[in-house]
Chains A and B, each alone.
Chain A
């Protein structure tokens, strides 16, 4: 259902980092157009 969809992945320092989200979603056939890890403190 999500295959081919474009994704923006925003990771969090104390949670799941951006590259990890991108890796998982990319592997599931989604197109990650931007990924970043943020720190909110």
Chain B
């Protein structure tokens, strides 16, 4: 295999993923809230199909997400996975965790600097585990919380019990309603939790991070600056990265890979020494497919907020690295067909490095869990993407037609991520890729993400970017 230009490598020090189980926030997802407004009795129907924390933890795709099981192991398990829960599953994984709703409410309250979140005092004291936890919280009597809800605050539930309230940030600004601010604060705390856990696992001091890039999906801002942004700096502050600044990188679901490329470029250029790439969960996407799940008697599987954090630094010998010189973008001229995507994000950048499609050991694409998407008619997204890559390899004479299925199985993988938009978009595989590179099970992985720009009605274009991850053998 020949290389046509010099390798440019940036180190990947580690990654951590979180899944925050928030069954009682599913009703505030975009789709459920619209349907419940039209038909309030849906709340009860929805509530009956919500999962417990134990069931969400024992759900095999979640165990893959946090690193306790590989995607290949998942593909060998009997389906449906929601009916075949794992025994003795733990909420802590090799590179991730599942967080309980009660802890999340506590984090939400601690991260609130504008008196938005109030929690019921008796409920809180029943659950307090550490002295001093109440120091920064707004605790109120049940009657006070009820009164806030009557005045327009968003109720926070634990099962059917009212346990808190989320107030609007402004009486007139549509960008500072309780619904919008709950989404934004949820993204902040789920990203911050992932970064805090990653720094702990790497034994790094938060002060050692120079820059934080958030690729969360939320539009943080007011009516004069809708989507003004820099959630990254709020996350940096929450985690105690006192020497860091930050900024946001947004590109629909392609955001995380762009953020990785930007972060790696800051390091390669010498501007920064250590960069954190972070994202919090998308509350709007909770329960997105709930109607078809209810219709088919499936539990509500979109009941978790995703989150992740990656630390990038200078490349080290023998460690995993991002090949910055392999970066590819989907240019305006390319067209949005799946074949054009595969050509510009896989074939052409590989060819530039003297590589063929069959020289990549593993492809990370959008790894949506098919158990969530197939019942709603949205298909098996990763499989569709892998078939496109396999078809291209066949068209270029790199494999025979009867080898396409082997290509899909061997170089692809089963989807296991909840439909959280940016989170499933290739980046979710990084933890497994680092393990597989460390164990020499693979020599490289190509990360490919796509962004549905047309959803914002500013262009008909799609978008995407890609890069190779490999072991630094220099």
> Footprint of B on A, CB under 8 Å?
13-20, 36-41
Contacts and interface: CB of A to CB of B under 8 A. Distances in A.
A14 B460 contact: no
B381 A39 contact: no
B421 to A, nearest CB: 8
B378 A41 contact: yes
Interface stretch (B37-45, B272-280, B354-362, B450-458): B450-458
B454 to A, nearest CB: 5
Contact of B462 (A13, A36, A40, A41): A13
Contacts of A15: 338, 384
* Majority-rule SS of A interface residues: loop
B190 interface: no
Contact of A14 (B381, B454, B455): B381
Nearest to B366: A41
Nearest to A19: B460
B337 interface: yes
B455 A39 contact: yes
B336 interface: yes
Given A41-B378, A41-B419, A17 B384 contact: no
B385 interface: yes
Nearest to B421: A41
17 contacts: A13-B452, A14-B381, A14-B384, A17-B454, A18-B454, A18-B460, A19-B336, A37-B336, A37-B460, A37-B462, A38-B455, A39-B455, A40-B376, A40-B378, A40-B379, A41-B378, A41-B381
B265 interface: no
Interface string B412-430: 0000000101001000000
A17 B462 CA distance: 9
Contacts of B419: 41
Contacts of A13: 336, 450, 452, 454, 462
A41 B373 contact: yes
Contact of B336 (A17, A40, A41): A17
Interface in B415-474: 419, 421, 424, 450, 452, 454-455, 460, 462
B368 interface: yes
Closest 8 CB pairs of A and B: A39-B452, A40-B378, A17-B336, A37-B454, A41-B368, A14-B384, A13-B452, A19-B460
Contacts of A18: 454, 460
A37 B373 CA distance: 18
Contact of B337 (A16, A36, A40): A16
B115 to A, nearest CB: 36
